[in-house]
């Protein structure tokens, strides 16, 4: 399925802050947080609600609340952590499953090293948090891991996607929805998204 584009002007503005090589780390983190809030709103707009009784200061009514079970948030370590706080702001009770994978810079293949998930994961939908959908290998591996653990409904929330990554993910997991702020031109020889924003994890955590 085609990606869902987050066209919101605040998201587009924050993306430009992320892209700018002169943006310092604090401003980078803050812009990523703003995007995460907007992505979280978009990714959850079809969540089921259940009516239940509440009592206002004046009378009792039936009012909508988000139905259980809440989706599980799945940040891909480590750059996905930059989106987690924004998603947790809107879904404070959602459980979190950390998916640890790194990209082998020689082969560009994904190597999984950790997966820690709640016991009731199979009963939940999952939202994978991965700012950069580059080759699509890591997101595909995360989706495969979630499906192997019984998850049936998965979406991937990212900031930037490359056409190659979208194609790769769609080929492996055609049922997975992708929400992204932009789709860039493509990947370079090192697997970076162009024009992109550089290495999201390095810019977030001050490594290089
Ligand atoms: N991961 C990043 O952080 N940046 C890219 O451009 C590609 C993958």
Average pLDDT value for the chain: 96
Q: What is the 3-state secondary structure (H, E, C) of 141-180?
A: HHHHHHHHCCCCCEEEECCEECHHHHHHHHHHCCCCEEEE
Question: 72 in ligand 1 pocket by Cβ < 6 Å?
Answer: no
Q: pLDDT tens digits, residue range 188-197? A: 999 999 999 9
Is 161's C-beta closer than 6 angstroms to any atom of ligand 1? no
Q: Which atom of ligand 1 is nearest to the CA of 79?
A: 3
For the Cβ of 200 lying below 6 angstroms from any atom of ligand 1, the answer is yes
Q: What is the distance between the alpha carbons of residues 106 and 102, in angstroms, rounded to a whole number? A: 12
Q: Which CATH class is domain 4-46+68-205?
A: alpha beta
What is this structure's pTM? 0.95
Give the tens place of pLDDT for each residue, 152-174. Answer: 999 999 999 999 999 999 999 99
68 C-alpha vs ligand 1 centroid, how far in Å?
34
Question: Could you read off the pLDDT of 82-107 as tens digits, one per residue?
Answer: 999 999 999 999 999 999 987 777 87
Say what the pLDDT of residue 108 is: 66
């Amino acid at each position: 399925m085609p990606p869902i584009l987050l066209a919101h002007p605040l998201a587009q503005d924050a993306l430009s802050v992320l892209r700018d090589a002169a943006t310092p780390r604090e401003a980078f983190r803050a812009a990523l947080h703003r995007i995460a809030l907007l992505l979280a709103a978009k990714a959850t707009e079809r969540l089921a609600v259940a009516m239940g009784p509440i009592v206002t200061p004046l009378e009792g009514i039936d009012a909508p609340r988000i139905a259980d079970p809440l989706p599980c948030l799945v940040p891909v370590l480590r750059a996905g952590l930059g989106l987690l706080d924004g998603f947790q702001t809107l879904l404070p009770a959602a459980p979190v499953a950390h998916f640890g994978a790194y990209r082998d810079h020689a082969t560009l293949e994904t190597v999984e090293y950790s997966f820690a998930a709640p016991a009731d994961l199979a009963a939940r939908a999952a939202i994978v948090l991965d700012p950069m959908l580059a080759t699509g290998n890591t997101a595909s591996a995360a989706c495969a891991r979630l499906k192997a653990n019984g998850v049936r409904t998965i979406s991937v929330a990212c900031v930037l996607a490359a056409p190659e990554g979208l194609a790769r993910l769609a080929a492996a997991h055609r049922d997975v929805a992708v929400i992204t702020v932009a789709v860039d031109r493509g990947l370079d020889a090192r697997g970076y998204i162009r024009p992109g924003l550089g290495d999201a994890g390095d810019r977030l955590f001050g490594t290089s």
